[in-house]
Structure 1
Amino acid sequence: QFIQIERDDSFMVDGWQQYTGAVQEELTTYNHAMRSVLEHYGIGTEEELLSGLVLNAKNRQSEYEDYGALFTTNRLIDGKVRRIIETAREKFFDSLIDWKEQLEDVVNKRTDVGKRRRMKH
């Protein structure tokens, strides 16, 4: 079962409409990727994926029906879900701001602070 998330109007900011096309496209990509994982592994809900509580999964990485096979499959699923979320966040913010450049500025500032602290000691 797949639940569509509804918009929370308290987050609406003037000018948000100009971003709806790009954001809707990324949401569609995210939904498709999550459905693909759900269907491939026979998992019932997106909640199971996000919580990491997958009790039954098909297409395990081993034929053996043991906890080790389930653990390995769950780790594989977790990695796929993490990549889907990371990619969705990157694409979402790419359409809004030049976040990579701003993040680099923050990292450089933090590095400078660390250097200054070491020099004082």
Structure 2
Amino acid sequence: MNYNHLRPYAAVTMAVFLVLLVFTGWVLYFAPHGVAVRNWLFLGVSKHQYKDIHLCLSVVATFLVLMHSALNFKSLSHYLKLHSKVGVPPLLCALVIVTLTVFAAFLL
């Protein structure tokens, strides 16, 4: 069965989820901590609810990334084979960038 018709939907949905994840992440980052959080609301939603929303969005976004990778596996594998012959393999570059980003996030 050909699933190529799902490609644009997966990409657009991933972009929307990324925007929502960034928004809820910033809200959680700047939300007050401790006792002050009891009565805190932003756009009518509490910090606890933002945590739940952020978690659900991240689970769905992970599924979408896996689906997008599966739908584009042929293109991705061709790209990695083509560029691994010239210079530094892109997969290695991606792993280094992700590792540095995670490390920098823990320093904040």
Instruction: Give TM-score, length-normalised by structure 1.
Output: 0.33
Whichever structure has more helix as a proportion of its residues is 2
Q: Greater RCO between the two (CA within 8 Å, min separation 6)?
A: 2
Calculate the TM-score normalised by the size of structure 2.
Answer: 0.36
Larger radius of gyration: 1
